[in-house]
Amino acid sequence: MADQKCKTARQKPEYVYLNQLNAACKTYIVRVVAEKGRDTLSSKKTVRFQTLLLKDEKGNRMRGSLFGDQIEAFEEALQYLGEYEISAAPIKFIDEKWRTELDQFPYQMAFGSRTVIQPVHPELRPIMPNYQPIASIPRTVDPDEKYDIVGVVLYVEEEPRKIEARDGKRESFVREVVVTDESCDQPLTISLWNDLTAPKFFDKLPNWAEAFQVIGFRALKPYTRRGFSMNFGMSTQIIYKPEGDRARELSNWANLFHQKILDRQTRVLEVKYLGENKKIVSIAELRRKKPSNTIQEELLWIEKRYSCTSCYKKECICTERTTFKFEASDGTGTMAFTTFNDDTERLFRRSAAEIYAIKEADDHNAFEAIQDMLSSKPFYIKVGPTSHLGQNNVLEWTLKGIELKEEPETLEVLQPFEGTSNQAKDANEKEKQQSMEQGNLEPVISNPKHEGFFRKNIHKIALSLKHWS
């Protein structure tokens, strides 16, 4: 019965919700809040369009589109986040290949000559940006929430970076802007993508390094995958001359605390423009650092024998995985670290299969040979703050990578482990054969009793290793 409300043009218009609309609807009234996107060129730069996201009181959403001259024609009629009653707008079917994450239903709203748009609250003025201090933005992400911020520019990425999709079929471009304010010691990284990386959006920031310009951003989305940063959205806008009390307060603060802003900018630029020499610190120096003088992207090096990084062989369902726990000391303090599969193989100069075979054979002699080699082959540990720094202003250090001090060709090569019999050799040959047959890049263990063990990826090297210093 709901669909019958909008099937013919002769009947009196009735109020409907967005989920009741389809291509047959001609006469209807729907009450929505309109979120406006940017005026954008198509990928082939032949068509101008503007995307609208319409939401009703039940939370249903539908995409709308304006093209060419319609963008200027409807500029005053549809304001950002204004509430409207819309009637007689054509509803068009969207082919599956053109649907986006905005499309809750396979239909979109067009705007024709008979479309009527009536503001629900005509007495209200357009909604202005509601600038918030950086520290007040929630660190728990609601995908539907967007925030307006104003900040002092510390860094602008000079050129767009190309990011390719994992499937290789699509590429995007990104430029980062780093800002700060008086509410938070941590600078905020804002990622602007695709159309917002065009020169026209950055030509107004020519002297960002010296000017400490105050600019605003509208409709940013929090992003917590790398600590805490903010991402662009459909409606994101850069406001080069922000107005209002919040903008004036920040401008006054920037004028009063020029040296503090300069110190923050220096830390950011040291991270963004890395020199060829490693910044080597002691563990004692790491422990003395505070959230106020550390930024999320910072990378430092500890000169020691052990390190850790993640194993990236995610496509392998069942194979050996090794971890090695240890404590490192540089004379100023100690820190606990763990090397995961790839780094453990690199440290031991053995494959995970060989390490596992040594442990199963309880071959202390083989482990002693590895111990002697590690004791004489130091390397650097690269460390950086965990994501808690950006999210919770808590400073903890984690391993980011390692680098051997020697060149690969000078490293001592240990003799392959033979095991107590030819079992290890046979197993390796069998694994290689299975890998070739199945097209795998890594050996696959066929023995079912090991499958669950290796899936967990928690195999630990114990034996005499725990006694090493």
For residue 266, give the CATH number of its domain. 2.40.50.140
Are 322 and 461 a contacting pair, CB within 8 Å? yes
Higher pLDDT, 16 or 167: 16
Least confident of 91-100, 211-220, 333-342, 455-464: 455-464
Q: How many domains does the chain have?
A: 3
- Do 292 and 168 share a structural domain? no
In the structure, how many helices (H) and strands (E) does the chain have? 12, 22
Domain end residue (candidates: 92, 119, 146): 119
Mean of the pLDDT values across residues 61-75?
A: 92
Is the pLDDT confidence value at 182 over 60? yes
Confidence of residue 463 (pLDDT cuts 50, 70, 90): very low
Q: Which of 93, 119, 145 is the last residue of a domain?
A: 119
Please indicate whether residue 12 or residue 461 has the higher confidence score (pLDDT): 12
Helix (H/G/I), strand (E/B), else coil: 113: coil
What mean pLDDT is reported for the chain? 79
Domain-embedded: residue 125 = no
DSSP annotation of 171 reads E
Residue 278, domain member (yes or no): no
Q: What is the pLDDT of residue 55?
A: 95
Q: What was the pLDDT predicted at 10?
A: 58
Give the range of the structural domain holding residue 111, as residue numbers without chain letter: 2-119
DSSP string, 411-438: SPPPPPP--SSTHHHHHHHHHHHHHHHH
Please, is 48 exposed, middle or buried when counting C-beta atoms within 10 Å of its C-beta (0-12, 13-18, 19+)? middle
- H-helix or E-strand spanning residue 271: helix 258-272
pLDDT band at 465 (very low <50, low <70, confident <90, very high): very low
**Whether 299 and 394 share a structural domain:** yes
pLDDT band of residue 5 (cuts 50, 70, 90) is low
**pLDDT value for 414:** 46
- Say yes or no to pLDDT of 91 above 90: yes
**371 pLDDT higher than 70:** yes
Ramachandran region, residue 168 (left: φ > 0; alpha: ψ -120 to 50; beta: rest): left
Look at 11-15, 216-220, 459-463 and tell me which has the smallest mean pLDDT.
Answer: 459-463
In the structure, what pLDDT confidence band is assigned to residue 97 with cuts at 50, 70 and 90? confident
Q: Specify if 368 maps to a domain.
A: yes
Q: Is residue 124 part of a domain?
A: no
The top-scoring range by mean pLDDT among 4-8, 18-22, 349-353 is 18-22
CB count within 10 Å of CB 126 equals 9
Question: Does residue 449 sit within a domain?
Answer: yes
pLDDT above 70 as % of the chain = 80
Q: Kindly state the average pLDDT of the residues 143-171.
A: 88
**pLDDT for residue 56 is more than 60:** yes
- In a shared domain, residues 337 and 446: yes
Verify that 140 and 115 share a domain, yes or no: no
The average pLDDT across 235-249 equals 95
Task: Examine residue 148 and state whether it is found in any structural domain, yes or no.
Answer: yes
Q: Are residues 238 and 342 in the same domain?
A: no
108 and 11 co-located in one domain? yes
Query: Residue 444: which of 343, 355, 321, 345 has the closest Cα?
Result: 321
> Same domain for 292 and 268?
no
For residue 460, being part of any structural domain is answered with yes
Do both 54 and 98 map to the same domain?
A: yes
* 3-class state of residue 368 by DSSP: helix
Token pair of 249 as six digits: 């307060």
pLDDT of residue 112: 87
> Residue 399 — very low, low, confident or very high, per pLDDT cuts 50/70/90?
confident
- Domain termination residue (choose one: 119, 143, 160): 119
Query: 341: pLDDT confidence band, cut at 50, 70 and 90?
Result: confident
